[in-house]
């Protein structure tokens, strides 16, 4: 099931990196793939993405001396050349592709964290408190460096009706 999801994601974005040669992917296939991508992200990618991508692909062909075979390379090149305003929908599509996690490890770690947090001694914990403790555990790379003094100072900086006495 997970493998199928990754395959679907790859199939959805694979045409973006097939920019080396127009003959490697027919115009009809690219158009169909672009239409499917627009249908998948209607709030993000506009209908003129198809024409924009065709023009972008030809632009990349002119610069074939550069190694532009991955979405991140294409996005970096697009940004370095300052062409994100010329190809805004291509920029958005590449950013969606690049920013989508390749794995779901973070989600799995979050659920395994809940097992550690909700142990025998904390079984009476309310849902809100359990959520808060789980977030603290999940974001441990942020919370571990904090000291009690940091937390107290942060609360002390807030305006209160009653001042804190030490």
**Which has the minimum average pLDDT: 13-22, 53-62, 136-145?**
13-22
Residue 67 is predicted with a pLDDT of: 76
| Residue 95 token pair | 């950013």
Confidence of residue 28 (pLDDT cuts 50, 70, 90): confident
Q: Is 73 exposed, middle or buried (0-12, 13-18, 19+ CB in 10 A)?
A: middle
Q: What mean pLDDT value characterizes the chain?
A: 78
Asked if residue 105 lies in contact with residue 50, where contact means CB atoms within 8 angstroms, the answer is no
**pLDDT score of 155 more than 70:** yes
| Cα–Cα nearest to 54, from 9, 80, 18 | 18
Distance (Å, rounded) from C-alpha 133 to C-alpha 125?
A: 10
Cβ–Cβ under 8 Å, residues 93 and 42: no
Residue 89 contacts residue 48 (beta carbons within 8 Å) = yes
Higher pLDDT: 140 or 116? It is: 140
Tokens 């009706």 correspond to: 161
Domain borders along the chain are 2-99, 105-157
What SS3 class is residue 18?
Answer: coil
Percent of the chain with pLDDT over 70: 72
Ranking 67-76, 90-99, 102-111, 156-165 by mean pLDDT, the lowest is 102-111
Exposure on the CB side of residue 134, measured as CA atoms within 13 A = 19
In this predicted structure, the answer to whether residue 118 has a pLDDT above a threshold of 70 is no
């Amino acid at each position: 099931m997970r493998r199928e999801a990754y395959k679907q994601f790859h199939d959805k974005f694979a045409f973006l990196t097939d920019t080396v040669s127009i003959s490697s992917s027919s115009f009809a296939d690219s158009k169909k793939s672009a239409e499917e991508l627009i249908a998948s992200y209607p709030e993000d990618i506009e209908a003129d993405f198809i024409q924009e991508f065709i023009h972008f692909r030809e632009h990349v062909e002119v610069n074939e001396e550069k190694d532009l075979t991955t979405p991140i390379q294409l996005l970096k090149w697009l940004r370095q050349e300052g062409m994100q305003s010329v190809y805004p929908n291509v920029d958005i599509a590449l950013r969606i592709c690049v920013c989508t996690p390749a794995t779901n490890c973070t989600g799995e770690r979050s659920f395994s964290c809940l097992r550690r947090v909700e142990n025998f001694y904390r079984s009476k914990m309310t849902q809100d408190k359990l959520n808060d403790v789980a977030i603290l555990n999940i974001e441990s790379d942020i919370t571990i460096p904090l000291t009690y003094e940091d937390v107290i100072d942060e609360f002390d900086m807030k305006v209160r009706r009653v001042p804190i006495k030490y």
